[in-house]
Chain A
Amino acid sequence: MSETTMNLTLRVWRQKNAQSAGTFVEYEAKNISVDMSFLEMLDVVNEELTARGEDPIAFDHDCREGICGMCSLTINGKAHGPLEATTTCQLHMRSFKNGDAITVEPWRAKPFPVIKDLVTDRSAFDRIIQVGGFVSVSTGGAPDGNALPIPKTDADAAMDAAQCIGCGACVAACKNASAMLFVAAKVGHLGLLPQGQTERDRRVLHMVAQMDEEGFGNCTNIGSCSAVCPKEIGQDFISRLNRDFLKASLRAK
């Protein structure tokens, strides 16, 4: 019979606030069920810390079903941990072995400052969305269901991009802390649909300008972002973003 519980050594980044310098602190995680998610394992460690009167480890989480984009964590140097196409909340302890030492760090990027421990401020992404990641529609009666035909291939491609949950793993994994995959997914998603055409040029110019303004690095086309993306958003969207921005730049008045 395989083991049902395990003991682990965690090396967790602890940082009091944005101003203070952080450091790694070691914790023992004992009797962890293999069926727990990584976040539940941290919950168990935090219960113990709280019982001992210590400050629990702060980490971001919300839906815990892999669709909200709140959970983050760089686990043993990889954003969202060892599995592909998996957010940290959907990573289970059976992916680790009894006795493993696990290093847990926050996303590291200048535009994502640490708020506390493993929690980073990702509002840079919100500001990028606010300058163009939307389609302006006039309110009024709901349009007929099939009034606007959309080819199936376009709809599928738009859905692939729309899967982006804005978690920031792409930035975390990129050696340049570039936000290209995130912006590419948002620009691609709306640019593939007929509703997104009117604002297409303005959208890409504004979103890229905001991305640069936030201080993200530049894309060097190495592909780490797609490799860690929990939604497996491909490099094709980055190519599409480059193409859209080029066309919009040439048409810019």
Chain B
Amino acid sequence: MKTLKLIFLSSLGRKYVMAISGALLFLFVIGHMLGNLQIFLGKDFLNAYAHFLKATPELLWPARIGLLVLAILHIVTAVQLAIENRRARPLAYDGTKIYAASFAAQAILFSGLVVLAFIVYHLLHFTFGKIQPEALTYTVMYKGEPIHDVYKMMVMGFSNPWISAIYLICMGLLCLHLSHGVSSLFQSLGWKTNAYRNAIDKFAKISALIIFLGNCAIPVAILLGLVK
């Protein structure tokens, strides 16, 4: 009980909440990207994968609920900490300069809020079908039964250059967010010692870049007509 109180109420404890929820969300982003990259393996691969997820509620729903809990913990804690940070300096300096801080570090709250807005948009688009309602109606035959044609949904969705532009910009901000966040989580948990400091910083930047390139490859390939 005391441990939970220390973790959820202290300044350092809430950084652990940020770090652990952030780390799990980071792993989800990698998994999500790998799943979607199956679009390059062909229509059947992607549709079979999507059908497997949909047809396995014992996997789908715990993952959905878990992600929602993680996202709420990450966002609520971030906003709480940010409000406290503003309160800690009621009167700003004349001409604010922040020393030694990377752009990604300074923009972490902004990039996070944009990514949040993007997640809402992304869910409305491909999960709830509010952006392109016809997207959820495409079907394809799979093992003798009609299943949702996710491949066609993605191709149609990203053929719209405006929608693709939104995705590309948001992936840029996600990349920026992760390039600081992934290295920061090691520091917050106390695992970033001088011996690993540079390696962890590089790992964060490289993994953020891989996620950016991997996710952007899909709309770019569709816009260029490489995936039809």
Binding site for B on A (CB under 8 A): 11, 24, 74, 77-78, 103, 105, 108-111, 173, 175-178, 205, 208-209, 211-212, 215-224, 226-228, 234-236, 238-246, 249-250, 252-253
Contact = CB atoms under 8 A, between A and B. Distances in A.
Contact of B99 (A177, A228, A245): A228
A217 B10 contact: no
Given A108-B93, A220-B105, A235-B197, A212 B10 contact: yes
A225 to B, nearest CB: 9
Contacts of A111: 88
A107 to B, nearest CB: 10
**Leading 7 A-B pairs by shortest Cβ distance:** A243-B190, A217-B88, A227-B100, A242-B190, A176-B85, A177-B88, A222-B101
Interface of B: 2-3, 6-7, 10-16, 81, 84-85, 87-102, 105-106, 108, 180, 183-184, 186-194, 197
B29 to A, nearest CB: 20
B88 to A, nearest CB: 3
B191 A110 contact: no
B90 A110 contact: yes
Contacts of B105: 220-223
Contacts of B100: 222-224, 226-227
Contacts, number: 145
B94 A249 contact: no
B101 A103 contact: no
Central interface residue in B11, B12, B87, B99, by most chain A CB within 10 Å = B12
A218 B187 contact: no
Contacts of B193: 236, 239-240
A242 B11 CA distance: 10
Contact of A24 (B84, B88, B90, B94): B94
B120 to A, nearest CB: 24
